[in-house]
């Protein structure tokens, strides 16, 4: 007995569409915020610490960017089997998790990194208003990282949350 074939409108197409719609509904996230408006932290910047704070934001952005790149490779999903349903599910999951759309998990992580880089850039401008030269600023922002993000930061939590949410689709 052979498996039924799908001529464009058969059972496999219908199952695939149903699964894709259910997965879409289950993983739909609210729209990404248009602009980050700040959060719970408060940092006082002055002439004495502006370059150190800029370095902190720059280093955090670089470390998060590296982690997001690595996690994006791990989050890509391949079809579990060669059937159309598995292919549809993998496509939908990849779109939600690592797609180019602005509300994918990876895009949101990259948006956060952009905010960190933008903050560092603003702090560089502030340093100039305090009288620091471009050479002073460049020198202060070079060298080893001023901070080391612990392994349980947003990047790792981001990946752990994704793995947990993805697991619910594969379990019975």
Residue 119 within a domain: yes
Residue 19 within a domain: no
pTM of the model: 0.61
Helix axes 105-129, 154-170, angle to 10 degrees: 170
133/77 Cα distance (integer angstroms): 48
Q: Which of 112, 111, 119 is nearest to 50 (CA)?
A: 119
Residue 26 within a domain: no
The per-residue pLDDT for range 1-53, each reduced to its tens digit, is 444 444 555 555 555 555 555 555 545 544 444 444 445 567 788 898 899 88
In contact, 50 and 123? CB cutoff 8 Å: yes
The per-residue pLDDT for range 59-77, each reduced to its tens digit, is 989 988 998 888 888 888 8
Residue 172 within a domain: no
Domain containing residue 103? 43-166
Residue 82 within a domain: yes
What is the total count of domains within the chain? Answer: 1
Q: pLDDT category, 127, cuts 50, 70, 90?
A: very high
Average pLDDT over the chain, rounded to an integer: 74
Percent of the chain with pLDDT over 70: 59
170 to 31, 41, 90, 157, 164: CA distances (angstroms): 25, 38, 12, 20, 10
Residue 35 within a domain: no
Residue 6 within a domain: no
């Amino acid at each position: 007995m052979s498996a039924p074939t799908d001529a464009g409108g058969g059972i496999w197409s219908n199952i695939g569409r149903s699964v894709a719609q259910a997965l879409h509904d289950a993983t739909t996230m609210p729209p990404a915020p248009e602009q980050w408006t700040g959060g719970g932290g408060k940092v006082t910047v002055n002439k004495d610490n502006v370059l150190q704070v800029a370095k902190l934001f720059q280093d955090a952005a670089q470390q998060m960017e590296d982690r997001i790149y690595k996690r994006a490779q791990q989050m890509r999903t391949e079809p579990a089997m060669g059937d159309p349903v598995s292919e549809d599910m993998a496509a939908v999951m990849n779109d939600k998790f690592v797609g180019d759309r602005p509300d994918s998990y990876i895009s949101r992580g990259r948006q956060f990194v952009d905010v960190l880089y933008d903050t560092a850039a603003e702090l560089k401008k502030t340093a100039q208003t305090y009288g620091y030269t471009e050479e002073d600023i460049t020198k202060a922002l070079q060298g080893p990282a001023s901070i080391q993000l612990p392994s349980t930061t947003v990047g790792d939590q981001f990946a752990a949350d994704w793995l947990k949410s993805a697991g619910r689709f594969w379990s019975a």
